[in-house]
Amino acid sequence: METTHGDHHAGGPDAGLPAIQQVVSVLWPSFLTAGIATIVTFTVFDPLQIAQCMGEPGLTRLGAYSTGFFVFWLFAAASSGLTCYFRRPTDRIRG
């Protein structure tokens, strides 16, 4: 897919994507991953115990679940974003 596309656009595989779709393609898969990670982590560990270890004893469980979810989302998005970034051809980064 990349090769056929690269012929039309000098900018590399992602250059033709509208900005909004690039953002969605990073945020959406990380959202799914974060959801799964949240479920698995918090069935094994009690969020309250984690919150206590991190010195946040005032947190409610719902707050802990939500915060956990967003932290996972952030990490997953960072990873997806880096993948997108590194997939750009080097000449484009130089130029």
Partner 1 sequence: MAEPAQKDAVVEEIYKKHEKIYPREVHGFFAHMRLLAMTVLLGLYYGVPWLQWDGRQAVLFDLPHRKFYIFDWVFWPQDFFYLALLLMIAAFALFFFTTLAGRLWCGYACPQTVWTELFMWIEHRIEGDRPQQIKLDKSPWNARKIRIKATKHAIWFLLALWTGFTFVGYFTPIRELWHDVLAFNLSGWETFWILFYGFATWGNAGFMREQVCIYMCPYARFQAAMFDRDTLVISYDAKRGEPRGSRKRGVDPRELGLGDCIDCTLCVQVCPTGIDIRNGLQYQCIGCAACIDVCNEVMEKMGYPKGLIRYTTENQMEGKPTHILRPRIVIYGLLLLLFTSATLYGIATRTPLELDIIRDRNTLYRETDEGLVENVYQLKIVNMDEKPHRYRLSIRGLPGMVLDADPNPVEVPAGSVQEETVRVRVDPVELKRASNEIYFIIEAEDDPKLRREEKARFLGPVL
Q: Name the site residues for partner 1 (rule: CB under 8 A).
A: 1, 4-5, 16-18, 21, 24-25, 28, 32, 39, 42-44, 46, 60-63, 65-66
Choice between 24 and 54, CB closer to partner 1: 24
Choice between 9 and 94, CB closer to partner 1: 9
Choice between 66 and 79, CB closer to partner 1: 66
Per the structure block, which two tokens stand in for 16?
Answer: 């033709």
Rounded to whole angstroms, the Cα distance separating 57 from 91 reads 50
Choice between 21 and 94, CB closer to partner 1: 21
User: In angstroms, what is the minimal distance from the CB of 74 to partner 1?
Assistant: 16
User: In angstroms, what is the minimal distance from the CB of 80 to partner 1?
Assistant: 13
- Give the 3-state secondary structure of the chain: CHHHHHHHCCCCCCCCCCHHHHHHHHHHHHHHHHHHHHHHHHHHCCHHHHHHHCCCCCCCHHHHHHHHHHHHHHHHHHHHHHHHHHHCCHHHHHC
User: In angstroms, what is the minimal distance from the CB of 92 to partner 1?
Assistant: 17
